Amino acid sequence: MTAAPNEVDERTLVQRAISRDEDAFGALYDRHVVRVYRHIYYMVGNSAEAEDLAAQAFLQAWEAIDRYQVRGAPFVSWLLRIAHNLAVSHLRSRKPSTELPETLVDHSRDGNPEEMLHRQVESRRVRDAINRLRGDQRRVIMLRFIEELEYPEVAQIVGKSVAAVRVIQHRALNALRREMGREAPPGAMAHG
């Protein structure tokens, strides 16, 4: 089975970057900067901090590129691991918990104002419920469902086994179901 053209191109760029080819690393930067920024932004919730941390992540990646194993995890997973570790260190120095930003869901879809308000309220309920998860559960949910990463990539980024990531995700989804079930839907009145 042959690799997809994009994969081959990525491998070639990585090999050239390992050989200290700045143009190749620049191309890798262009490919992945949005994803790295988004990942960090979801963790820190501040665009200026996310920009600074994304720049630091790419600087660290450039400095450590010769230690990347081409036959190991995909380059983007390695890069997101660096970004993730930087964001975690930043959050530890800033405050004890991470919260998802207000802009988790795009509300710009066309619709009547009532539908838009309902989507915003539901989005806030989900975001608030995710923010109440334990740190490892919140990170796994963000990586799996916001970043849309596969289990092996998530495991590599958070430094756990695939089995552990599956267990964390299962527990997080159960906690979210319980949490969402506790909250009254918009407009509901409590009887009693």
pLDDT at position 111: 61
Query: What would the mean pLDDT of 113-136 be, rounded to a whole number?
Result: 78
Any domain includes 125:
yes
Q: Is the pLDDT of residue 108 over 80?
A: no
Structure pTM?
0.60
Q: Is the pLDDT of residue 104 over 60?
A: no
pLDDT at position 16: 93
Kindly state whether residues 12 and 77 are assigned to the same domain. Answer: yes
Q: Is the pLDDT of residue 170 over 80?
A: yes
pLDDT at position 62: 93
Kindly state whether residues 145 and 74 are assigned to the same domain. Answer: no
Kindly state whether residues 81 and 127 are assigned to the same domain. Answer: no
Any domain includes 171:
yes
Q: What is the CATH number of the domain that holds 147?
A: 1.10.10.10
Residue 127 pLDDT grade (very low, low, confident, very high; cuts 50, 70, 90)? confident
Any domain includes 153:
yes
Any domain includes 107:
no
pLDDT at position 191: 41
pLDDT at position 176: 87
Kindly state whether residues 123 and 83 are assigned to the same domain. Answer: no
Any domain includes 102:
no
Any domain includes 103:
no
| CA 157 to chain centroid | 10
pLDDT at position 88: 86
Q: What is the CATH number of the domain that holds 88?
A: 1.10.1740.10
Any domain includes 136:
yes
pLDDT in tens, 44-100: 878 889 899 999 999 999 999 988 887 777 898 899 989 988 988 888 887 544 455
Domain count for the chain? 2
Kindly state whether residues 41 and 69 are assigned to the same domain. Answer: yes
pLDDT in tens, 11-43: 899 999 999 999 999 999 999 999 999 888 888
Residues 6+ apart with CB under 8 A from 190: 184
* DSSP secondary structure letters along 18-61: HTT-HHHHHHHHHHHHHHHHHHHHHHH--HHHHHHHHHHHHHHH
Kindly state whether residues 77 and 11 are assigned to the same domain. Answer: yes
* Residues 147, 168, 31: CA angle, nearest 5 degrees: 20
pLDDT at position 188: 44
- CA separation for the pair 42, 46 (Å, rounded): 8
Residue 189 pLDDT grade (very low, low, confident, very high; cuts 50, 70, 90)? very low
Task: Give percent of the chain above pLDDT 70.
Answer: 80
Kindly state whether residues 117 and 84 are assigned to the same domain. Answer: no
**Structural domain ending residue among the three candidates 61, 94, 127:** 94
**Structural domain ending residue among the three candidates 94, 129, 147:** 94
**Structural domain ending residue among the three candidates 33, 66, 94:** 94
Any domain includes 104:
no
Mean pLDDT of the chain: 80
Q: Is the pLDDT of residue 1 over 90?
A: no
Q: Which domain holds residue 139?
A: 113-182
Kindly state whether residues 77 and 119 are assigned to the same domain. Answer: no
